Amino acid sequence: AQTVTQSQPEMSVQEAETVTLSCTYDTSESDYYLFWYKQPPSRQMILVIRQEAYKQQNATENRFSVNFQKAAKSFSLKISDSQLGDAAMYFCAYSKYNQGGKLIFGQGTELSVKP
């Protein structure tokens, strides 16, 4: 069975600095998707970034980028120039390709941003 692990329950970053959130996963599949979702205090789940496993190039969305290491089964999220609005719970998620979108989530990392 596939699993997703986020080993950092809490992280903290100074405003304008860079922070990296870690995620590892376990799967025997070769085709799959990985996601990072953000959940601010409003509780709304917001898709931050998506990575297709067949793509070697790391995904980037503005200040958010990932470091995808397929062989190591590692998928970290880097937030550059951190802003107060980045404070939230971040979830890493996995989905097997073409499996009807069943997401498997990690436990989450709570990120605080200090002014």
Partner 1 sequence: DAGITQSPRHKVTETGTPVTLRCHQTENHRYMYWYRQDPGHGLRLIHYSYGVKDTDKGEVSDGYSVSRSKTEDFLLTLESATSSQTSVYFCAISDSRATSEQYFGPGTRLTVT
Task: Determine how many CB atoms are found less than 10 A away from the CB of residue 42.
Answer: 8
Between 39 and 80, name the residue whose CB sits nearer to partner 1: 39
Would you say 28 or 43 has its CB closer to partner 1?
43
Query: DSSP labels for the chain?
Result: --EEE---SEEEEETTS-EEE--EEE-S-SSEEEEEEEE-TT---EEEEEEETT--SPPEETTEEEEEETTTTEEEEEE-S--GGG-EEEEEEEEETTSTT--EE---EEEEEE-
Distance CA 57, CA 65 (A): 11
Q: Specify the residue, 42 or 57, whose C-beta has the smaller distance to partner 1.
A: 42
64 lies in the site for partner 1, by CB under 8 A: no
Which of 7, 45, 54, 83 forms a contact with partner 1 (CB under 8 A)? 45
CB of 25 to partner 1, least distance (A): 12
Instruction: Give the number of residues in contact with partner 1, rule: CB under 8 A.
Output: 27
From the list 15-23, 65-73, 74-82, 89-97, the region that binds partner 1 by CB under 8 A is 89-97
Q: Name the site residues for partner 1 (rule: CB under 8 A).
A: 4, 6, 33, 35, 37, 42-47, 50, 91, 93, 95, 97-108
